[in-house]
Amino acid sequence: MQELVTERSVAPSEQRWPFRVTIAMPAFNERHGIAAVIRAVQAEVPEAEVLVIDDASSDDTAAVAEASGARVVRHPYNKGNGAAIKTAIRSALGDVLLIIDADGQHNPADITKLLEYMDRYDMAVTVRSHASHASRTRGIGNWLIARFASYLAGMEFLDLTSGFRAMRLSAIREFVHLLPNRYSWPTTSLLCFAKAGYSIKFVPIEARRRAGGKSGQKLFQNGFKFLTIILRIVMLFSPLRVFVPVSLLMLALSVLAYIASVVVSGVWLKIPNATAALFVGAIVVFMFGLLAEQIVALGLGGRREQ
């Protein structure tokens, strides 16, 4: 049964922003706390559409959300947090989409800190303090991944994994097909915006720690997954950032192989097989990078003209 969607009328005196706002929260078995979050969001931004994506909860999360005044879109089965975000992107009625957790981890009072930048930025991302991370090890891991992503993307990321953010719907809809269905949608969307040249603002906040101070994500497993996502997105938008360092590394190894051969044999004119192979490989990798860069440029140009 298809849901009939109508926009809530807003008095001119209520409208604080030069754009319409949808505040979305993906939810899975959040009946005990979601009503309080919805009320806090409505009190903070009464003119916004509140959209709850119920990811096939086994409790009455959807009913509680609807009774609290939110518009609810239900998944027929559990698809994952990223899939819920994609549903929110496709279903939102506003011009700006703001994502907030349904479990109360994010403070609704920080919503306006993000929205105040959305008249001139395409994305505003909260930057959590070090104290808000579940553990010191996790905080260090996130920092290292952010530094690596900053290098590959060519801009500094102050917080790569924060999901509390606002985005222009017209921009994020360009990349909805690239977002994963499970976790890591914040990393993927941030890299997509950065490499596509959209304007991003990082906004410091004091985030609340999860109950018990624990996170459901494993540091090393998800660290490898984040690195894979970073490389995949960079390859889609700026492959030379990957190919050039690999090519230079192979070139350096070829020189080291030649020097080692000279030291061992004392013969200057003999070129070792390892040197020749690494040198040719470096050239091939660099040329592949140039070709990939041109293909990406043509693809982005074609999409912009549509």
**pLDDT of 268 above 90:** no
Q: Give the confidence band of 227 by pLDDT, cuts at 50, 70, 90.
A: confident
pLDDT at residue 209 in the model: 61
Look at the alpha carbons of 42, 53, 110, 116 in this order and tell me if their dihedral is positive or negative. Answer: negative
**pLDDT of 15 above 70:** no
Q: Rounded to whole angstroms, how far apart are CA atoms 297 and 237? A: 8
pLDDT at residue 301 in the model: 53
The DSSP secondary-structure symbol of 194 reads H
User: Model confidence over 293-306: pLDDT tens digits?
Assistant: 888 777 655 454 44
**pLDDT of 12 above 50:** no
**pLDDT of 23 above 70:** yes
Q: What angle do CA 166, 95, 237 make, to 5 degrees?
A: 60
Tell me the domain boundaries of the chain: 21-236, 240-305
**pLDDT of 36 above 70:** yes
pLDDT above 90 covers what percent of the chain?
57
**pLDDT of 259 above 70:** yes
pLDDT at residue 297 in the model: 75
pLDDT at residue 146 in the model: 80
Residue 66, SS3 per DSSP: helix
pTM: 0.77
**pLDDT of 133 above 70:** no
User: Model confidence over 86-130: pLDDT tens digits?
Assistant: 999 999 999 999 999 999 999 999 999 999 999 999 999 999 876
pLDDT at residue 138 in the model: 64
User: Which residues neighbour 194 within 8 Å (Cβ) at sequence distance 6 or greater?
Assistant: 153, 154, 155, 157, 200
Q: Give the confidence band of 212 by pLDDT, cuts at 50, 70, 90.
A: very low
User: Model confidence over 167-211: pLDDT tens digits?
Assistant: 999 999 999 998 989 878 998 899 889 888 899 999 999 866 654
pLDDT at residue 153 in the model: 78
Residue scoring higher pLDDT (125 or 230): 125
275 phi, psi to nearest 5 deg: -65, -45
37 alpha carbon, distance to own chain's centre: 23
Q: Rounded mean pLDDT of the chain?
A: 85
User: Model confidence over 60-95: pLDDT tens digits?
Assistant: 999 999 999 999 999 999 999 999 999 999 999 999
Q: Give the confidence band of 7 by pLDDT, cuts at 50, 70, 90.
A: very low
Cβ 208 vs Cβ 107: under 8 Å: yes
CATH architecture of the domain formed by 21-236: Alpha-Beta Complex (3.90)
User: Which residues neighbour 89 within 8 Å (Cβ) at sequence distance 6 or greater?
Assistant: 97, 169, 172, 173, 176
117 alpha carbon, distance to own chain's centre: 18
